[in-house]
Amino acid sequence: MKKALVTLALGSVLATTAQATVYTYEQNKHNRPNNKDSIEKATFTYDNQLQQFTFKASLTRDTDGLWAVVNRGSSPSNKNAGFMHIDLKNNVITVNQGYRINGANYLNPVVQRFDNVINYHQNTKTLDFSINVAQINEKLRNQTGDLLGGIEFNNTIGGWVHADYTPNAQYNGNTITHWKYSGINGIDFHNRNTTIVPPKPPVPVPTPAPLALIALGLLGLYRRAKA
């Protein structure tokens, strides 16, 4: 018993938690050459445990905004898609429900808005942001039963990304009241295979201090009982 208590007091354990699967995909305009493309390169990353979506892009020229849609592989023209209006000028991302074939997607219901999450570097024409999309996926995928809804992908991905050079975004609270679409070519792709990011090795975590103190207390009681 003495040895067991000492081991409990001074030992450490490895924390083993369920590993998330992180998917990533990179698309550049050279996969589909077009001199009028507004997007040089775009990288999409999704953590399926945290439901964290990360986006990075290199643009061919400076712009005030762009829009993006992404799902598990099919065409993103879906009534439950998470349509992202990415306002670089005001540093706002507004996610609207669904894609309209005839445009004016900003008129669709707002699912969630994110403020001051975009890192935009005008000198290099690059941007990146990372947002938690759990609330969006709950409403557009889980509650609707639409596996192509929300902002999410796994081993396959489909997406559209287009720049809107002067969207002149206007707002009333969380709602977009005006967004001008440029109709400029961007990056469109469907049913592409993603890559899984290798998981990080587990980190050793010491036994919690309260547990060690309890063990030492029990050891003291044991010694007094033996005396």
Give me the DSSP letters along 45-96. Answer: EEETTTTEEEEEEEESS--SEEEEEEESSS-S--TTBEEEEEETTTTEEEEE
- Percentage of residues in the chain having pLDDT higher than 90: 63
Q: How confident is the model over 123-134, as a mean pLDDT? A: 97
Residue 38 falls inside a structural domain? yes
Query: Does 218 map to a domain?
Result: no
User: Rounded CA gap, 87 and 93, in Å?
Assistant: 6
Answer yes or no: is 203 within a domain: no
What is the pLDDT averaged over residues 12-30?
Answer: 72
Number of domains in the chain: 1
Assess if residue 47 is contained within a domain. Answer: yes
Highest mean pLDDT among 73-82, 151-160, 194-203: 151-160
pLDDT at 75: 81
- Distance CA(61)–CA(85), nearest Å, equals 18
12 band by pLDDT with thresholds 50, 70 and 90: very low
pLDDT, average across residues 85-101: 94
pLDDT in tens, 184-204: 778 999 999 999 999 877 666
Residue 8 covered by a domain: no
Is residue 9, in this structure, part of any structural domain at all?
no
- Give the structural domain span for 68: 22-197
Does any domain span residue 205?
no
> What pLDDT was estimated at residue 214?
56
Identify the helix (H) or strand (E) that includes residue 134: helix 134-137
What does the pLDDT average to over 23-40? 76
pTM (2 decimals)? 0.80
Residue at 226 is within a domain = no
